């Protein structure tokens, strides 16, 4: 054996052997009880970040359960990552002097598909380098046809149950490019624009957008503002450029009494904040700017003018009529611009699909209240409940092409929607007209990933009965029968609301069962200075580079050691080095045993019970008892998701008890019996350590003559 442990000689070879031997499949324990975890699918075409390395927690659980005899399934997947991927692709296009507007929808989709396929495989090989014992034969992609068909079906059911409706919602719209943009695609810039103080009957308010006044459906003041208290709830009469009008005065907390005059005009159709206020007060949404960027019929004689022209004309008219009190020319504010053409982004109302959440959220709240789902650490339950108890309807429409297109067709004749399981209908279901067009929007990525636990299990090709596309009834697969509900959903706490809560909601709705029995939440890995890693800050550390430097086992151990579950940690090179040193210590214990090996001894004894009978010396007996106690502690820790305590205990015991004391003791009195006990105890320790450090424990077992892989050995306690 080498004097120093070299992970580079070990890890790749061992992983390949494990995979070849099929040890990652639940079938290695065909009669075991079911234990399952679905891997939160990483972005298919992006490299892993350090947060993904935290999935080591899932590997620890899976390896532990597998050793305990469970039919343990850890199912991998890849996410198409909706607009993040489309955004990256478009940057790529921009480098070639092209943009998404140069292609039709189908071509663009195909190009992104090819782009993702080219980059795929990267994150899979990185997960392998971390030693993750994922069952690759069951890998799923969020855009696999069978997954898509399940997503269609769920939408269809929601629609048929009356839980989906159309409603207006503002989008960032560029009237020049003729398309809407995600928040990511809006660039903000500080601009100096005139702030107009306009007379509204008895009130005066400040605005930068006088031309949108035709869309005003209220004016608002702060509820505690004494100046205006008497107007709240009243309809005031105002003089406008189009004649006289009446408008309601409402009170809303969002109004800043310090800004301008403390009075705000509310234009729900053309301002994100006003839209929210409008929702709260049930205001009408009156659109006055069209998707062509021109004023519409509500603007009276200003109709047909572009926004900029209209603003100028409206201001001139107001000045003539004495409706402008003053103009502040030094007002600076941030406005949204189209990242592509730099024109001002116009918030415009657009009809989109919404899911009614309140009735769906109730069973999800109950599931946790009644203990059908346990959250670890428990403190995160608060966030879960808070989200679900104040839930708002879910907008599931996204104006991008990279995703699952919504299976809904609009009839131009009778104005009704036809929703299907994904099959293109020949005619409108209501009036049989053939002039129907599919909704150009795609589903919010979270809408499909909310179905991930049951969708991945239902669509396994190894299953007996496959999904039949044309029927609306979902036939259960073998894997679904066996592994659903899954045992654990483990992910970062930052997506508890967006993903975990929605999986519970949609899972219960679609299957009648909770999607998982336990939620385990880990914290964030930050940079060495405790700052959040982000591309824009340039402080992202590639986990695979760290693995190559310190070894996967050391990295894995460092991530769970010394940080309680759910707490953030700063990446620490000192800690990584310490853990690398620990792997070396472990290696040298093995080396010591190997060097002193007595050839006549067969290291076969494996149970602690047997050892208790064999140990005769008082010292040996004590050490057998200590390992027995350690085993029980670890079992208890792992059953309670206390990974840090388990890791700390192992480190402490192996190094400062077993090596520093027991080996030093045995060294002096070298005799056969003691070596047998020593070696056997060591092999037990390696098994206890295996879920945390799979590679080195495997290699050491082999060096000490084990014939079978440590992966198919059993956990030393029940």
Partner RNA sequence: GGGCUCAUAGCUCAGUUGGUUAGAGCGUUACAUUGACAUUGUAAAGGUCAGAGGUUCGACUCCUCUUGAGCCCACCA
**Cβ neighbours for 522, distance < 8 A, ≥ 6 positions apart:** 54, 57, 490, 491, 492, 493, 565, 566
Among 399, 632, 644, 709, binds RNA (CB under 7 A): 644
Among candidate residues 26, 151, 47, the one with its CA nearest the CA of residue 456 = 151
619 binds RNA (CB under 7 A): no
Using the rule CB under 7 A, give the single segment among 82-90, 506-514, 603-611, 651-659 that binds RNA: 651-659
645 binds RNA (CB under 7 A): yes
HSE, CB side, 13 Å, CA atoms: give it for residue 39: 33
569 binds RNA (CB under 7 A): yes
Q: Looking at beta carbons only, is 144 or 594 nearer to RNA?
A: 594
Smallest separation (angstroms) from RNA to the CB of 580: 5
- Token representation of residue 487: 């045992």
344 binds RNA (CB under 7 A): no
477-516: contacts with RNA (CB under 7 A): 494, 497
Among candidate residues 697, 484, 137, the one with its CA nearest the CA of residue 712 = 697
Q: Looking at beta carbons only, is 437 or 574 nearer to RNA?
A: 574
Q: What are phi and psi of 140, to 5 degrees?
A: -125, 155
d(Cα 598, Cα 602) in Å, to the nearest integer?
9
Let me know: does 37 contact 488? Beta carbons within 8 Å.
Answer: yes
84 binds RNA (CB under 7 A): no
Q: Looking at beta carbons only, is 352 or 588 nearer to RNA?
A: 588
Q: Looking at beta carbons only, is 3 or 535 nearer to RNA?
A: 3
Using the rule CB under 7 A, give the single segment among 93-101, 270-278, 407-415, 612-620 that binds RNA: 270-278
Q: Looking at beta carbons only, is 424 or 534 nearer to RNA?
A: 534
d(Cα 89, Cα 31) in Å, to the nearest integer?
46
Using the rule CB under 7 A, give the single segment among 53-61, 63-71, 111-119, 636-644 that binds RNA: 636-644
Smallest separation (angstroms) from RNA to the CB of 421: 32
* Window 236-265: contact mask with RNA (x via CB under 7 A): -----------------xxxx-xxx-x-xx
- Token representation of residue 109: 């989709």
HSE, CB side, 13 Å, CA atoms: give it for residue 294: 9
Q: Any bridge partners for residue 330, and if so which?
A: none
Using the rule CB under 7 A, give the single segment among 88-96, 308-316, 618-626, 648-656 that binds RNA: 648-656
Using the rule CB under 7 A, give the single segment among 81-89, 100-108, 134-142, 580-588 that binds RNA: 580-588
Helices (H), 104-211: 105-119, 122-129, 145-160
108 CB neighbour count, 10 Å cutoff: 20
Smallest separation (angstroms) from RNA to the CB of 259: 2
Phi-psi region of 259 (alpha: psi -120 to 50; beta: other; left: phi over 0): beta
Let me know: does 554 contact 576? Beta carbons within 8 Å.
Answer: yes
40 binds RNA (CB under 7 A): no
Q: Looking at beta carbons only, is 441 or 553 nearer to RNA?
A: 553
d(Cα 681, Cα 611) in Å, to the nearest integer?
9
704 binds RNA (CB under 7 A): no
Among 660, 669, 712, 714, binds RNA (CB under 7 A): 660
Smallest separation (angstroms) from RNA to the CB of 685: 13
Using the rule CB under 7 A, give the single segment among 75-83, 467-475, 653-661, 685-693 that binds RNA: 653-661
629 binds RNA (CB under 7 A): no
Among 583, 635, 679, 680, binds RNA (CB under 7 A): 583
Let me know: does 679 contact 704? Beta carbons within 8 Å.
Answer: yes
Helices (H), 42-81: 50-53, 56-67
539 binds RNA (CB under 7 A): no
Let me know: does 325 contact 197? Beta carbons within 8 Å.
Answer: yes
Which single residue is written with the structure tokens 């969708």? 455
509-538: contacts with RNA (CB under 7 A): 530, 532
Q: Looking at beta carbons only, is 5 or 74 nearer to RNA?
A: 5
HSE, CB side, 13 Å, CA atoms: give it for residue 71: 13
Which one-letter DSSP state was computed for residue 299? Answer: G
Which one-letter DSSP state was computed for residue 183? Answer: G
HSE, CB side, 13 Å, CA atoms: give it for residue 190: 3
Q: Looking at beta carbons only, is 186 or 383 nearer to RNA?
A: 383
Among 382, 413, 430, 612, binds RNA (CB under 7 A): 382
Among 72, 171, 206, 688, binds RNA (CB under 7 A): 206
Q: Looking at beta carbons only, is 124 or 665 nearer to RNA?
A: 665
**Cβ neighbours for 407, distance < 8 A, ≥ 6 positions apart:** 152, 155, 156, 419, 420, 421, 422, 423, 438
568 binds RNA (CB under 7 A): yes
Please count the residues of this chain forming the interface with RNA, following the rule CB under 7 A.
69
Among 333, 464, 466, 471, binds RNA (CB under 7 A): 333
652 binds RNA (CB under 7 A): yes
d(Cα 585, Cα 512) in Å, to the nearest integer?
51
Q: Looking at beta carbons only, is 49 or 497 nearer to RNA?
A: 497
d(Cα 651, Cα 653) in Å, to the nearest integer?
6
Among 108, 552, 589, 693, binds RNA (CB under 7 A): 589
Q: Kind of pairing, strands 140-141 and 164-174? A: unpaired
Among 234, 567, 607, 714, binds RNA (CB under 7 A): 567
* Strands ordered across the beta sheet of 218-221: 235-240, 243-251, 218-221, 263-266
Phi-psi region of 415 (alpha: psi -120 to 50; beta: other; left: phi over 0): left
664 binds RNA (CB under 7 A): yes
Q: What are phi and psi of 702, to 5 degrees?
A: -65, -45
386 binds RNA (CB under 7 A): yes
* Window 416-445: contact mask with RNA (x via CB under 7 A): ------------------------------
Among candidate residues 495, 570, 578, 575, the one with its CA nearest the CA of residue 539 = 570
Q: Looking at beta carbons only, is 209 or 405 nearer to RNA?
A: 209
Burial (Cβ within 10 Å: 0-12, 13-18, ≥19) of residue 549: middle
Q: Looking at beta carbons only, is 382 or 434 nearer to RNA?
A: 382
Q: Looking at beta carbons only, is 147 or 696 nearer to RNA?
A: 696
* Window 274-313: contact mask with RNA (x via CB under 7 A): --x-------------------------------------
Among candidate residues 83, 100, 80, the one with its CA nearest the CA of residue 400 = 83
Question: Which positions touch RNA (CB under 7 A)?
Answer: 3-5, 206-209, 220, 253-256, 258-260, 262, 264-265, 271-273, 276, 333-334, 379, 382-383, 386, 494, 497, 530, 532, 562-564, 567-570, 572, 574-575, 577-578, 580-581, 583-585, 588-589, 591-592, 595, 640, 642, 644-645, 648, 651-652, 655-656, 659-661, 663-664, 667
């Amino acid at each position: 054996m080498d004097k120093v442990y070299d992970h580079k000689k070990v890890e790749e070879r061992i992983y390949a052997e494990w995979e070849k031997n099929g040890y990652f499949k639940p079938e290695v324990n065909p009669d075991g009880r079911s234990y399952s975890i679905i891997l939160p699918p990483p972005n298919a075409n992006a490299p892993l970040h350090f947060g993904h390395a935290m999935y080591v927690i899932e590997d620890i659980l899976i390896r532990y359960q597998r050793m305990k005899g469970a039919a343990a399934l850890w199912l991998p997947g890849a996410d198409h990552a909706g607009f993040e991927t489309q955004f990256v692709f478009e940057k790529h296009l921009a480098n070639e002097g092209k943009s998404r507007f140069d292609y039709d929808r189908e071509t663009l989709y195909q190009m992104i598909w090819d782009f993702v396929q080219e980059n795929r495989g990267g994150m899979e090989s990185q997960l392998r380098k971390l030693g993750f014992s994922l069952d690759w034969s069951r890998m799923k992609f969020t855009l696999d046809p069978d997954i898509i068909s399940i997503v269609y079906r769920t939408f269809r059911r929601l629609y048929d149950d009356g839980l989906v409706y159309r409603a207006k919602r503002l989008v960032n719209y560029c009237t020049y490019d003729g398309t809407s943009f995600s928040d990511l695609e809006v660039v903000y810039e500080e601009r100096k624009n005139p702030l107009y103080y306009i007379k509204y009957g008895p009130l005066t308010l400040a605005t930068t957008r006088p031309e949108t006044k035709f869309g005003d459906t209220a004016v608002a003041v702060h509820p505690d503002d004494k100046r205006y208290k008497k107007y709240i709830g009243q309809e005031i009469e105002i003089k406008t450029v189009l004649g006289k009008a009446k408008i309601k005065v409402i009170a809303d907390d969002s109004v800043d009494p310090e800004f301008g005059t403390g009075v705000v005009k509310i234009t729900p159709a053309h301002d994100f904040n006003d839209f929210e206020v409008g929702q709260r007060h049930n205001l009408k949404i009156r659109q006055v700017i069209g998707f062509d960027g021109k004023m519409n019929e509500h603007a009276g004689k200003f109709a047909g003018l572009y926004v900029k022209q209209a603003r100028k004309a409206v201001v001139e008219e107001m000045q003539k009529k004495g409706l402008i009190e003053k103009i502040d020319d030094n007002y600076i504010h941030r406005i949204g611009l189209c990242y592509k053409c730099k024109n001002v982004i116009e918030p415009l109302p657009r009809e989109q699909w919404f899911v009614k959440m309140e009735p769906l959220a109730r069973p999800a709240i109950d599931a946790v209240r009644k203990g059908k789902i346990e959250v670890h650490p428990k403190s995160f339950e608060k966030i879960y409940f808070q989200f679900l108890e104040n839930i708002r309807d879910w907008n599931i429409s996204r104006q991008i092409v990279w995703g699952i297109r919504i299976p809904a067709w609009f009839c131009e004749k009778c104005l009704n929607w036809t929703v299907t399981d994904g099959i293109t209908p020949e005619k409108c279901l209501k009036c049989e007209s053939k002039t129907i067009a599919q909704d150009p929007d795609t589903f919010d990525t979270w809408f499909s990933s909310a179905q991930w636990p049951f969708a991945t299990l239902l669509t396994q090709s190894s299953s007996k009965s496959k999904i039949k596309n044309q029927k609306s009834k979902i036939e259960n697969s073998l894997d679904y029968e066996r592994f659903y509900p899954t045992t654990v959903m483990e992910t970062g706490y930052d997506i508890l609301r967006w993903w975990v809560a929605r999986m519970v909601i949609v899972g219960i709705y679609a299957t009648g069962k909770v999607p998982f029995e336990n939620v385990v939440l880990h914290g964030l890995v930050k940079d060495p200075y405790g700052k959040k890693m982000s591309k824009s800050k340039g402080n992202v550390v590639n986990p695979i580079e760290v693995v190559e430097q310190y070894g996967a086992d050391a990295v894995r151990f460092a991530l769970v050691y010394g940080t309680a579950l759910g707490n953030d940690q700063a990446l620490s090179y000192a800690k990584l080095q310490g853990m690398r040193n620990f792997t070396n210590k472990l290696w040298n214990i093995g080396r010591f045993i190997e060097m002193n090996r007595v050839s006549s001894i067969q290291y076969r004894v494996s149970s602690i019970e047997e050892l208790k009978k064999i140990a005769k010396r008082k010292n040996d007996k004590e050490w057998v008892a200590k390992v027995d106690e350690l085993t029980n502690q670890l079992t208890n820790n792992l059953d309670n998701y206390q990974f840090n305590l388990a890791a700390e205990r192992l480190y402490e015991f192996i190094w400062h008890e077993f090596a520093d004391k027991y080996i030093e003791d045995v060294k002096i009195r070298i005799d056969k019996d003691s070596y047998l006990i020593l070696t056997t105890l060591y092999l037990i320790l390696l098994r206890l350590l295996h879920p945390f450090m799979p590679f080195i424990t495997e290699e050491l077992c082999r060096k000490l003559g084990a014939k079978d892989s440590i992966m198919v050995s059993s956990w030393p306690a029940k």
